[in-house]
Amino acid sequence: MSAATTRSRTPDRLCAEAVDLARAVAEEVAAPGIVGEHDGMVSEGDRVVTHYFACKEMGYRGWRWAVTVARASRAKIVTVDEAVLLPGSDALLAPEWVPWSERLRPGDMGPGDLLPTDAEDLRLEPGWTGEDEPPPNSAVSHEMADLVEAEDAEVTAGPPAELSAVPARGTISAVAEELGLSRARVLSRYGLHVAADRWEDGYGPKTAMAQAAPAPCVSCGFLARIGGSLGQAFGVCANEFSPADGHVVSLAYGCGGHSEAAVMPKPPRVAPPVIDETRVDPFPLRPAADSGSVPAAEDQDSAELGHS
Ligand code: SF4
């Protein structure tokens, strides 16, 4: 019995003596050979005592089997309440549980994986669904107003099927469609900001590559512009030799692959041959007998005559 683990309250004598009963129950619950030495007891209350036994199972260092026994008032028989495995003060514990949504890291998702988005995801906000717009056959709808104006006549409401399904130009539907807002949810202001911060970290003006670049992406011919508000600060690099190829880059980013950084010099163009047709060059038909001597004047003349 360990005095350190015994509370100041005096344990019930019969319950304190029921060590063998507690061990038998612990061994029944645990696998054979797992229950170790008796490791103290704790008085839980009147006639209620918990006995502790060391756990010898590998991987459960510092854990203890705790068997609580009790006795009814004026009864002599001790009974067992429960038997559990509990961690001691120096027990080896598993790390604190972290929900999967907080454990997930970029790049963890593989083919076929589904990543549910929280209904309260701050990066998203409701898009324009058209629910607020009056129905097409309503007297105050844009479609009915257009029909009235076009026909300049009294128009009675008809079923929506008689009206065009394609949003007319200038309507809220058409504008929302054009702006890409006609989705269940769209990026919120917060979502835009966190995306912009993330992209700037990877391909922003403060990166070493951008600091050493000859010019920013905004003036590069390989930059593909993107729409929306993010297009005011970002584009997509389309230079296959750039480290940012296919990535969203800040307009202030840059790299050595900038289209105007180092224009290759053109290869020199060889001048076309010039034929001088104003004079005739003498050319001997056969070398002189003595290769070291100059051809005789008459031979040279005849050769020239023959050539001409
Ligand atoms: S090639 Fe370099 S400078 Fe040009 S868009 Fe890509 S990252 Fe920017």
Q: What is the pLDDT of residue 10?
A: 87
Query: 63: Cβ below 6 Å to ligand 1?
Result: no
Query: 167: Cβ below 6 Å to ligand 1?
Result: no
The tokens for 74 are 């004026």
From the list 41, 34, 39, the residue with the least C-alpha distance to 16 is: 41
* Atom of ligand 1 minimally distant from the CA of 253: 8
| Domain at 3-87: CATH code | 3.10.450
Q: What is the pLDDT of residue 196?
A: 96
Query: CA of 3: how far to CAs of 54, 55, 105, 200, in Å?
Result: 16, 19, 49, 62
Residues of the chain with pLDDT under 70: 1-8, 130-173, 176-181, 264, 288-308
| Residue range 212-231, pLDDT digits in tens | 999 999 999 999 999 888 99
Q: What is the pLDDT of residue 6?
A: 47
In the chain, where the domains are located: 3-87, 126-186, 189-250
Q: What is the pLDDT of residue 2?
A: 47
Query: 242: Cβ below 6 Å to ligand 1?
Result: yes
Query: 255: Cβ below 6 Å to ligand 1?
Result: yes
Q: What is the pLDDT of residue 100?
A: 82
Query: CA of 61: how far to CAs of 23, 54, 197, 228, 289, in Å?
Result: 19, 9, 45, 58, 113
Residue nearest to atom 8 of ligand 1 (CA): 217
Q: What is the pLDDT of residue 99?
A: 85
| Cβ–Cβ < 8 Å for 87, 93 | yes
What residues form DSSP beta bridges with 84?
66
